[in-house]
Amino acid sequence: MTSRPAILFLLPALLLYAAFVVVPILQVVAYSFFSWDNGIAQEFVGLANYTHLGSDSVFWAALSHNAIWVVLTLAFPLLAGLLLAAILADRSPRTIQVMSAIYFIPRTIPLVVAGIIWGWIYNPLFGLLNYGLDMMGLGSLAGAWLAEESTALVSLNVVGAWTFFGFCVVIYLGAIQSIDPSLYEAAEVDGAPWWRKFRDITVPLLNNSTLFLGLYAAIEAMRFFDLIWVTTQGGPGYATEVLTTHVYKTFFLVGDFGYAAVLSVVLLVIVLSLSAIAFRLLRAK
């Protein structure tokens, strides 16, 4: 096929992409250079909206919460997924099929629904978690999980991990099953225990999957909004504020479209940078 027909075939998709992605992004960037009053553009202010970033303590708190979220997501769901996949890989095909489906179920639940479910579990008045702790004689450990600054972000990250670890299991499992079995057979002949095989064969050969999952998790961690909004709306105080909730409040609740656009541009730059890194690293492999 010559290049002209190829361009003609691509053109509809390119036009749609330009209309629904490129133009809105340029629009948001343009918004960030204006002052606004109740959602109505007032005057061109250049970079004045951007200078507010430095003194906006909520922005820095939100950014740090996003960073914590990334670290926690990399630490727990990936690790749990890796271990479970490695354990599961040694089981019968039927067990693998059933267990991976079970692990994957939370991934299919929309985050809004997951937030509502876990909101009930964490509820300080009638929550299942506190009830369970009471039943086990651990009532002293019961708490207001989403209502205290010290526990709110971590408690929400548990929900995020719950919805993500099954995805990690499935990705890792697929990767483990593609490893040449002769490597494990040779290790067994040498008398290597399970954990040595896991450490010296499985983990190194899963680097690509780990890289993919890590970058995917990092990008998702910058973009998520729904879980926070239905459970805490960024509270208590600013304890679970993330960039997306800060953007939402600034845009929809305060009506400062200029500064909301600045925050959106910052978020966009971060996500695009992570995507570029992911693209580069994965292509290099």
Partner 1 sequence: MKRTAWSAPLVLCIATQATAQDTVVVTQWDQFAQSGITAAGPAMDELIATCKPALNGAEVLRTIAPSIGIRDSYRLAVSAGKTPDLAYTWPAASVLSGYARVGALAPLDDYYAQYGWDQVNAFYKGRNSYEGKTYGLPMEQDLMGVYYNKDLFKENGLAVPTTYAEFQALVEKLKADEIIPVAFGNRDRWPATNTFSLILGLTAGRELEEKVFFGDEPWTNPAFVQAAQTFQDWAKADIFPRGFNGVGYDEANALFLSGRAAMTITGTWVLQDMIRGAKFDLGVFMLPPIAEGVAPGTMWGEGSQWQLSAAATPAVRDAAAAYLDCLVSPESRQVWVQKGYTVPIGTTPAELAAWGADPVVQEFFTGGLATPDANFYDLHTTLPESMTQVLYPELQRLAGGEVTADEFLTTMQAAWVTAGANNERWIP
Give which of 176, 153, 188, 201 is closest to 81, Cα–Cα: 176
* Residues of this chain, 148-177, that bind partner 1 according to CB under 8 A: 148-149
Q: Does residue 125 interact with partner 1 by CB under 8 A?
A: yes
* Residues of this chain, 174-233, that bind partner 1 according to CB under 8 A: 232-233
CB of 11 to partner 1, least distance (A): 31
Q: Does residue 249 interact with partner 1 by CB under 8 A?
A: yes
- Which position among 196, 255, 272, 276 is part of the footprint of partner 1 (CB under 8 A)? 255
Q: Does residue 237 interact with partner 1 by CB under 8 A?
A: yes
Q: How far apart are CA 255 and CA 40, in angstroms?
A: 9
Q: Does residue 118 interact with partner 1 by CB under 8 A?
A: no
- Which position among 212, 238, 266, 281 is part of the footprint of partner 1 (CB under 8 A)? 238
* Residues of this chain, 5-44, that bind partner 1 according to CB under 8 A: 37-40
CB of 232 to partner 1, least distance (A): 7
Cβ proximity to partner 1, 106 vs 236, nearer residue: 236
Contact positions vs partner 1 (CB under 8 A): 37-40, 122-125, 143-149, 232-238, 241, 249-250, 252-257
